[in-house]
Amino acid sequence: MKYILSILVLVFSQSLLSETLITREEALDVLYSVPDGGGDGIEIAKELIVGHGIKTSYSFGATSKGNGGLTIFGTFIKLLDVHDDSIIIKNDVLNSSVKDINDDGYKDILIWGVAIFTGEKEWDSKEERPVKAVLIFDKNKKKYTVKEKSPEIDIWEEDI
């Protein structure tokens, strides 16, 4: 019993130490604001205190095709995918949070969820696969760098 209680306390404390970047509800609000014929919908802008006095803004936007993601320090991370082009995201949006995972005093980005491989044809079988990405804050470059990433998660540097 003591062991189970210790595990529960550890799990609960770990979840308290992380902070969500974009919730599923926020992502879907942005997606549903995009006009059917294309054009601009709303974009969510937020702030993040990264650590040691570094603070930044980041934004989340979506396209009329059903794709979307967040941009932070010039890096785009695709979190939303409801457009069936052979891969979609289960529950539409990947989970995203920040937490100092390497104990350097800066918050790092964690992305996780499930990708559904729908195949190229309607009759192709569907396969679910867990996906994740870890981005570490580089204090010298003042940006996030990819430490590990499932190939199904799109992350790229935007032209600034």
What pLDDT, in 10s, does the model give residues 48-75? 999 999 999 999 999 988 999 999 999 9
Identify whether 13 is part of a domain: no
CA distance 67 to 125: 23
Residue 140, domain member (yes or no) = yes
Instruction: Give me the sign of the Cα torsion angle 53, 106, 143, 87.
Output: negative
In a domain, 148, yes or no: yes
Mean pLDDT of the region 131-143: 97
CA distance 42 to 30: 6
Within a domain: residue 26? yes
Residue 6 domain-assigned (yes or no): no
pTM of the model: 0.85
What burial class does residue 82 get, using C-beta atoms within 10 Å of its C-beta: 0-12 exposed, 13-18 middle, 19+ buried? middle
Give me the percent of the chain exceeding a pLDDT of 70.
Answer: 87
Give the pLDDT of residue 3. 45
Domain that holds residue 101: 20-157
State how many domains the chain has. 1
Query: Looking at the domain assignment, is residue 8 inside a domain?
Result: no
Is the per-residue pLDDT at 10 higher than 50? Answer: no
3 vs 58, more confident: 58
Domain presence at residue 38: yes
Does residue 9 form part of some domain?
A: no
